[in-house]
């Protein structure tokens, strides 16, 4: 199978590089630095050492026995990315890109963040490596992810509120891109998902493939074979791309990406890009599937989960959906919150609201599957950050 993207950064009909002229040279520089690092055994050794001794890899493969028994049907396994340092898979990519910034001689890094986990990961990596750090975050996301804002500032990062637009992830990316255009000589933009112009979708996926590489080995050993189904939530799609990439060549393994169904599938109430309101378009430098109206204007989005509240999806996901290798579905706010409680009650594990969408889908389909079947859920993050928001929506907040 030909490795994607192609030389122009395309995954089939999706991807590419649609940016102002001022960013073409920095993106070319980044691509060259990334490819050089991939050939540099010293860079890879440093990254591997930190992933093991600082991040805490490999993360465990956990059999959710009580959850499986409660639901009946398939056995559910969890890939425990919530046990990574900083509490989510985001650190895999943040660390890789922060090391790359050092290789390029960039002393300042910037980032966008929605749920705050990527911002925390970048701030943490910057503290480790002595880099100046600025994180852009929508004001609405700052409100619902206050704990992560405190964590970023504790690490020495400057957190800049974004009051424009919907005050969420889309607007934070806009501001980060504006900063990068202005400060390209001294600054590296650590984009947090498989989004944006080439080489970001490729590079972020590659830094996250450690999840899938570990998972294949672990599930084969633990379940004595491959899973019937691999499930992951999909916002921009980095955790899903990281685990799907290792299973995509196994045709017998079903792959399911779970988007945010929000309050319902009407415009403005969800972030399910592969629903009827999503169509090919260009956003933040890449051609992908975007929630837009008939005039091409970006539609508003909603999700209880800040990390899934984004109107576009990574271009590789768009390709996987077009060629039918991955099935994409959606889970609404209420079902995700129910799964948030269910996993906590059955296993003593509090999932991030993003990850709860994947847990909810597994809980939906497991009862109808044979007892001999196995579902692998990528538990992309932990839910400490979401406790206040869940309490508020349930009327329990002070």
User: Which of the following is catalytic: 68, 79, 90, 170?
Assistant: 90
CATH of 10-52+89-201, one of 3.40.50.1100, 3.40.1030.10, 2.30.30.140, 3.40.1190.20: 3.40.50.1100
> Which residues, given as ranges, of the chain have pLDDT below 70?
1-2, 397-398
Model pLDDT, residue 135: 97
Which alpha helices (DSSP H) does the chain contain, by range? 21-39, 41-50, 65-71, 90-103, 117-129, 139-144, 146-154, 169-182, 200-223, 238-247, 315-322, 333-347, 353-365, 387-393
Q: Compute the distance between CA of residue 386 and CA of residue 367 in angstroms, rounded to an integer.
A: 27
Report DSSP letters for 294-337, one per residue: TTSPBPP---SSGGG--SB--HHHHHHHHTTSSEEEEEEHHHHH
What is the pLDDT at residue 346?
A: 98
- Annotated active-site residue 385? The verdict is no
* C-beta separation of 209 from 243 below 8 A: no
Query: What is the tens place of the pLDDT at every residue in 103-126?
Result: 999 999 999 998 899 999 999 999
- What is the pTM for the complete model shown? 0.96
What is the model's pLDDT at position 165? 82
Exposed/middle/buried for residue 254 (C-beta within 10 Å: 0-12, 13-18, 19+): middle
- Domain range 58-87+209-393, CATH class: alpha beta
Yes or no: say if 22 and 181 are a contact pair by the CB < 8 Å rule.
Answer: yes
The model's pLDDT over 135-157, given as tens digits with 9 standing for 90+, comes to 999 999 999 889 999 999 999 99
pLDDT computed for residue 1 by the predictor: 44
Domain boundaries, the chain: 10-52+89-201, 58-87+209-393
- The pLDDT value recorded for residue 166 is 83
Q: How far is CA 324 from CA 142, 254, 330, 347, 354, in A?
A: 36, 11, 16, 33, 23
Known catalytic membership, residue 394: no
Given the residues 193, 380, 385, 389, the one annotated as active site = 380
The per-residue b/e assignment along 74-95, b for 16 or more CB within 10 angstroms, e otherwise, is bbbbbbbbbbbbbbbbbbbbbb
- Could you give the C-alpha distances from 119 to 95, 206, 340, 353, in angstroms and in order? 12, 19, 23, 17
Same fold, 10-52+89-201 and 58-87+209-393: yes
Annotated active-site residue 103? The verdict is: no
């Amino acid at each position: 199978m030909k490795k994607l993207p192609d030389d122009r950064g395309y995954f089939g009909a999706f991807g590419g590089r649609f940016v102002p002229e001022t960013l073409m040279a920095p993106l070319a520089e980044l691509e060259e630095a990334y490819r050089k690092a991939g050939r540099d055994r010293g860079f890879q050794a440093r990254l591997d050492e930190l992933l093991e001794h600082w991040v805490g890899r490999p993360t465990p493969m956990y059999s959710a026995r009580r959850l499986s028994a409660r639901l009946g049907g398939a056995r559910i396994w969890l890939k425990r990315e919530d046990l990574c340092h900083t509490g989510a898979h985001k650190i895999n990519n943040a660390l890789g890109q922060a090391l790359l910034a050092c290789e390029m001689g960039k002393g300042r890094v910037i980032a966008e963040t929605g749920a705050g986990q990527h911002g925390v990961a970048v701030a943490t990596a910057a503290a480790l490596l002595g880099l100046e750090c600025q994180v852009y975050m929508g004001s609405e996301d700052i409100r619902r992810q206050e704990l992560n804002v405190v964590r970023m500032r504790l690490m020495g990062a400057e957190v800049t509120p974004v009051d424009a637009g919907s005050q969420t992830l889309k607007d934070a990316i806009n501001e980060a891109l504006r900063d990068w255009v202005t400060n390209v000589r001294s600054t590296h933009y650590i984009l947090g998902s498989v989004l944006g112009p080439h080489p970001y979708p490729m590079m972020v996926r590659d830094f996250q493939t450690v999840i899938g590489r570990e998972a294949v080995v672990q599930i084969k050993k633990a379940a004595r074979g491959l899973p019937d189904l691999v499930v992951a939530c999909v916002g921009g799609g980095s955790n899903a791309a990281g685990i799907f990439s290792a299973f995509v060549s196994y045709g017998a393994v079903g792959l399911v990406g779970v988007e945010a169904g929000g309050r319902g599938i009407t415009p403005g109430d969800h972030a399910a890009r592969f629903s009827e309101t999503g169509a090919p378009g260009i956003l933040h430098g890449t051609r992908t599937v975007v929630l837009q109206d008939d005039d091409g204007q970006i539609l508003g989005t909603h999700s209880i989960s800040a990390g899934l509240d984004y109107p576009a999806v990574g271009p590789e996901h768009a390709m996987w959906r077009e060629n039918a290798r991955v099935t994409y579905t959606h889970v609404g706010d209420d079902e995700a919150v129910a799964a948030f409680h269910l996993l906590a009650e059955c296993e003593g594990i509090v999932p991030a609201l993003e990850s709860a969408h994947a847990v909810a889908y597994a809980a939906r389909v497991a009862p109808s599957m044979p007892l001999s079947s196995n579902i692998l859920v990528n538990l992309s993050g932990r839910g400490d950050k979401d406790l206040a928001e869940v309490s508020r929506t349930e009327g329990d907040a002070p």
